[in-house]
Structure 1
Amino acid sequence: MRKSLNENEKYLISLLKSVLHGLPVEEVPKNVNMETVFRIAHFHSVANMAYYAVKNMKNLSPELLKKWKEEYDKAQLKDVVQRIELNLISKTFEQEGIDHLPVKGFVLKELYPKSDMRAMSDLDILIPPDKAQNARDAMVKIGYTVEHYDGGVQDVYFKPPVMNVEIHNNLFMEAMKNSVDYYKDFAKKLFSENSKTCRRYISDEEAYAYVIAHTSKHYRGGGTGIRSVLDVYVLCEKKPELVSSESFLNILKEQKLDEFFKHISNLSKVWFGDMESTPLYDEMGAYVMISGTYGTRTGEILNRVSEDYKGSLAKSKVSNVMKRCFPPLYIMKTQYRWLKKYPWLLPVSYPMRFGAVLVHRRKNLDVFSNTANVSEEEAKQINTLHKNTGIFTD
């Protein structure tokens, strides 16, 4: 993996910085290709925001400007529709007696100069685990189709033209043990408290600490992109007292995320503020750039192999393959709901899983080939980077 940004990536960061701060747009350098800049912006779901900087450029081709404008128009539409739909869902859940808490996106939108600058692919709503069927019935009632419903940690719903909704009964899978433990207790407490309404509200400290926890989940999974770094920057800029408060930092410490927050907030200040970079933040930035909005399958495999790396690449690869062939119970329960009631049948579920693997043979062969292709240098580099930035803490 490279250790710094290229010129196209640097220019995109400068465009976003100019939008955030209302600064004049830097002239396009000769060694920058605006088609490539657009592709990077699209890959990171920030093309809509960057449009505010490029819309008055005189040397852009009409075809390329049209692509930027389409991203902006989609974000405008989504921003309006998502607000309307969230109110409809909340009203319907209220009528059906379903306790719920909207999380993530909307608390961040208010921190940006304009709310449409912060694109959201979906709405995320937390409910009590025993209300999943009630929520499903309510969502179907208001015109949503069920995209995914299997008794796992989240169910997925869709309504044309742009509405994707994830209904969570837990905010993390058990792979992130510290966050899982914290948010299990958090959800139990939240939904056990007396409330005059079914829509629940939490403190800013809790809301924004969850944003950091969610960002870390993607970062250590397949990676996370520019948009997440933007989120951290506007949070630090708009809520400086909150992010330095003892209550906020204690929530992060309880999940062992305080070091990660320090480093990703520093990276955000390097990119969008006036902080000088260091080799660590150059490398961290390069990792973010190759990840895209939600990370990649290749990045996920590299992270898993690197996490297991303890001097022997062969051992870490074998460990990763074994975990994929024989996932732990908490993952298997999301694929086979009956394991929740009969966990002792876990060994029986593995032959069924292998059958499913054969059906999707091409996809799974790619996983194994990508694992085989991880080099010793890559594993060492990512292992060291993630230890230095507070991701690999054990």
Structure 2
Amino acid sequence: MEKAEFRKNAADMIYLTRCSLHNKTPDKSRVENMDIESLFEVCQKHILTVCVAYALESAGIHDHDFTQAKEKAIRKNILLDAERRKIFDCMENKHIWYMPLKGALIKDWYPKLGMRQMSDNDILFDGNFRAEVKDIMTDMGFECEHYGDGNVDEYFKKPVCNFEMHNELFVVTSTGRLHEYYKNVKKRLVRDTDKKYGYHFSDEDFYIYITAHEYKHYKEGGTGIRSLADTYILVKKFGNSLDRDYIDKELNRLGIADYDKTNRKLAMKIFDGKKLTADENKELDYYVMSGTYGNSDNFFRNKIESNFESSKIKYILRRIFPPMSLIQAWYPFFYRHKWLIPVLWICRPFFKIKNVIKELKYLINRK
């Protein structure tokens, strides 16, 4: 799809999402002039297909692809909720503290079931029990798809249940000050009143965490319109009940106060249907063209710009010879067997050769 066409369909997607969030029927004449097939493609990129499906249905448009996506999303949310409850019961029995993250909570604040689509469920747990949690998941019939390096272990159970089990919220290589701020996250948590090992953030700390998480994506590969919808839902959910003085102080500690201000203002304006300034339209375009999980162009551009200090040669040397903190986070085998680190230096560029080529092209063309 050409960029101009993508942007046009994204504008329709935002309009229809706004209608769904406000439980309003969209203008029928505008809907009739939409390219439903292309609209579906853009919605899939931003994982806003169900939001748009509800809006289309209210206008009398029952498209097969949108309807199927909505039904699958509702089914998936129900299955994920059921499996998550079972996982928590097992963790209670094993005396392992845990906390559901992000969308597992936000989805219930959207107006209708399934409207906030879930690609997976994220759970934070006591990282001292990584192996025990793996046993819990495999005993429950999950396949372990990734384990041991980084901060996330990934599990899948047919037909549609993906779980990401986090032993910490951010790795040491995460953008900015995120890892340092959250490395002892347990002290920020509040125990659930009806559980011995279940925890949650206060409302203020939940808002801060969601902002930090979205900032990470924004500064890496980019993030899409759904993150703005989540921000809008959060602001509407909590209203004026949040302690903004505390939030602003903590966001300043994280170095993301300006991001929060810009992100929050943009979210409120687009979903309240207010006119954007030229700068806000430019900012919105970054979200539109990123998609929910960003893209490689953004990723390499942002990575290079955030790590570039003085010369291309120095940047390349840092990429070839990564710091020990990165090796510890992403290559624990080599961290444990440090005498093999020279092998990592040689082999690492070939792990994802296509990405290396893209990064080099951007670096070469950088002025």
CA contact (8 A) 1:336 1:349 kept: no
**Deviation (angstroms), 1:84:** 0.6
Partner of 1:329: 324
| Per-residue Cα deviation, 1:123-153 (whole angstroms, up to 9, x for no partner) | 1111122111111111111111111112431
Relative to 1, partners in 2 of residues 1:348 and 1:207: Cα closer, same or farther, differing over 3 Å?
same
CA contact (8 A) 1:128 1:191 kept: no
Code of the aligned partner of 2:346: F
Q: What is the CA RMSD across the aligned residues, in angstroms?
A: 3.0
**Deviation (angstroms), 1:194:** 12
Relative to 1, partners in 2 of residues 1:194 and 1:348: Cα closer, same or farther, differing over 3 Å?
farther
**Deviation (angstroms), 1:55:** 2.5
CA contact (8 A) 1:49 1:118 kept: yes
Q: Distance in 2 between matches of 1:177 and 1:373?
A: 22
| Per-residue Cα deviation, 1:152-197 (whole angstroms, up to 9, x for no partner) | 3111111111111111111011233422111113235649999961
Q: Which runs of 5+ in 1 are unaligned?
A: 381-394
Partner of 1:50: 52
Partner of 2:347: 355
Partner of 1:383: none
Q: Distance in 2 between matches of 1:93 and 1:213?
A: 27
CA contact (8 A) 2:334 2:344 kept: no
| Per-residue Cα deviation, 1:59-108 (whole angstroms, up to 9, x for no partner) | x6x8xx11111211111011101111110000001111111111111221
Partner of 2:143: 145
Alignment of 1:302 onto 2:301: yes
- More moved, 28-37 vs 83-92: 28-37
CA contact (8 A) 2:335 2:341 kept: no
Partner of 1:11: 12
CA contact (8 A) 1:242 1:248 kept: no
Q: Distance in 1 between matches of 2:7 and 2:195?
A: 53
CA contact (8 A) 1:145 1:158 kept: yes
Specify which of 64, 68, 72 is matched with residue 66 of structure 1.
Answer: 64
Partner of 2:21: 20
SS at match of 1:86: helix
Code of the aligned partner of 2:222: G
Structural mapping, 1:198-347, within 5 Å? 198-243=197-242, 245-308=244-307, 315=311, 318=313, 320-341=315-336, 345=338
Partner of 1:96: 94
Percent identity between matched residues is 28
CA contact (8 A) 2:176 2:255 kept: no
CA contact (8 A) 1:15 1:50 kept: yes
- More moved, 146-155 vs 244-253: 244-253
CA contact (8 A) 1:122 1:163 kept: yes
Relative to 1, partners in 2 of residues 1:212 and 1:40: Cα closer, same or farther, differing over 3 Å?
same
CA contact (8 A) 2:191 2:200 kept: no
Code of the aligned partner of 2:213: H
CA contact (8 A) 2:172 2:179 kept: yes
SS at match of 1:24: coil
SS at match of 2:105: helix
CA contact (8 A) 2:300 2:358 kept: no
**Deviation (angstroms), 1:375:** 8.7
CA contact (8 A) 1:301 1:371 kept: no
- More moved, 92-101 vs 236-245: 236-245
SS at match of 2:100: strand
More RCO (CA 8 Å, sep 6+)? 1
Relative to 1, partners in 2 of residues 1:335 and 1:236: Cα closer, same or farther, differing over 3 Å?
closer
Partner of 1:391: none
SS at match of 2:41: helix
SS at match of 2:183: helix
State TM-score, norm by structure 2. 0.88
Relative to 1, partners in 2 of residues 1:368 and 1:126: Cα closer, same or farther, differing over 3 Å?
same
Code of the aligned partner of 1:155: D
Alignment of 1:184 onto 2:183: yes
CA contact (8 A) 2:171 2:329 kept: no
**Deviation (angstroms), 1:324:** 3.4
- More moved, 322-331 vs 148-157: 322-331
Code of the aligned partner of 1:325: I
Relative to 1, partners in 2 of residues 1:81 and 1:52: Cα closer, same or farther, differing over 3 Å?
same
Q: Distance in 1 between matches of 2:294 and 2:340?
A: 32
State TM-score, norm by structure 1. 0.83
Relative to 1, partners in 2 of residues 1:320 and 1:110: Cα closer, same or farther, differing over 3 Å?
farther
Partner of 2:77: 79
Q: Distance in 2 between matches of 1:357 and 1:371?
A: 11
**Deviation (angstroms), 1:353:** 5.0
Q: Distance in 2 between matches of 1:157 and 1:71?
A: 23
**Deviation (angstroms), 1:15:** 0.5
Q: Distance in 2 between matches of 1:99 and 1:142?
A: 18
Code of the aligned partner of 1:22: N
Relative to 1, partners in 2 of residues 1:189 and 1:56: Cα closer, same or farther, differing over 3 Å?
closer
Relative to 1, partners in 2 of residues 1:191 and 1:8: Cα closer, same or farther, differing over 3 Å?
closer
SS at match of 2:177: helix
